[in-house]
């Protein structure tokens, strides 16, 4: 049977659109509902309790719209809220994210890996566990990037200010000869071209969007919940806050005819 219920995806802002893009490519017939919690961004500067509260609010909003699965398209929110969300809804497929430390340590040629991420992600117990598990034989260098996700939220992907900020975060990793760099925030995926330019072609960039889409597909198959190819899928977009520039950013990052609806408070 075809399950036409939607899949819910949420992030602290527009960064999770990079994950939504991978989901759409892999699952072209699914109806996707995306929530950008831009009114409460950045999550990296908030406490775990605040992030968890927002994750529950967004999850409940999506479940009220009969979502058959949830994707936490945010590393920081996954670290803070994935476990309590799964405890609250044990039968619901909930797919989270984490920085791609494991594939990065497997890909490095010289044993030096750099991680660009938010302060919240790098401070989380979940990230510490990743390092303990996969970082023993590799030098994993972490670089917090305050202000970088805000550049993406404003649609400033290659301005002089964004370029200078990103370069300041990359230089310590490059000077340490990192040959693999993990894009540890969904927002940073939209800066991939700029990161590659500044880091050089010999540095490999890794993110987890495609892996998340593949895991979602596996979970939907296991639950017999895939939408069969009866019609093309579509998307709807919701946002917290009331910033006039958000539609312009959405149209720049997703599609010129896309627009946000304001989330209820």
Residues carrying an active site annotation:
74, 185
To the nearest 10°, report the CA torsion of 105, 109, 114, 116: -80
Is residue 67 within 8 A of residue 7, CB to CB? The reply is yes
- E strands, the chain, where? 7-11, 32-36, 69-72, 94-95, 112-117, 139-144, 180-183, 204-206, 235-239, 260-262
What is the C-alpha end-to-end distance of the chain, expressed in Å? 36
Going 140 to 146 to 147 to 150, the CA torsion angle's sign is positive
């Amino acid at each position: 049977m075809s399950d036409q219920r939607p899949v819910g995806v949420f992030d602290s802002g527009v960064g999770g659109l990079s994950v939504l893009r991978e989901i759409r490519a892999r699952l072209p017939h699914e109806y996707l509902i995306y929530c950008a919690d831009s009114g409460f961004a950045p999550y990296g500067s908030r406490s775990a309790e605040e992030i968890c509260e927002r994750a529950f609010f967004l999850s409940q909003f999506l479940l009220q719209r009969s979502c058959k699965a949830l994707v936490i398209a945010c590393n920081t929110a996954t670290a803070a809220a994935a476990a309590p969300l799964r405890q609250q809804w044990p039968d619901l497929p909930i797919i989270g994210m984490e920085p791609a430390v494991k594939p990065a340590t497997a890909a490095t040629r010289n044993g030096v890996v750099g991680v660009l991420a938010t302060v919240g992600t790098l401070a989380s117990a979940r990230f510490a566990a990743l390092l303990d598990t996969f970082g023993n034989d590799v030098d994993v260098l972490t670089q917090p990037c305050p202000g970088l996700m805000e550049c993406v939220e404003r649609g400033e992907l290659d301005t002089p200010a964004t370029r200078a900020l990103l370069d300041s975060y990359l230089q310590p990793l490059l000077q340490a000869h990192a040959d693999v760099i993990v894009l540890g925030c969904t927002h940073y995926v939209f800066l991939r071209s700029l990161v590659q330019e500044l880091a050089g072609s010999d540095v490999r960039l890794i993110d987890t969007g495609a892996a998340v889409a593949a895991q979602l597909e596996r979970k939907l198959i296991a639950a017999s919940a895939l939408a069969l190819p009866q019609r093309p899928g579509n998307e709807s977009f919701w946002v917290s806050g009331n910033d006039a520039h958000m539609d312009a950013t959405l149209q720049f990052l997703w599609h010129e005819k896309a627009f946000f609806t304001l989330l209820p408070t």
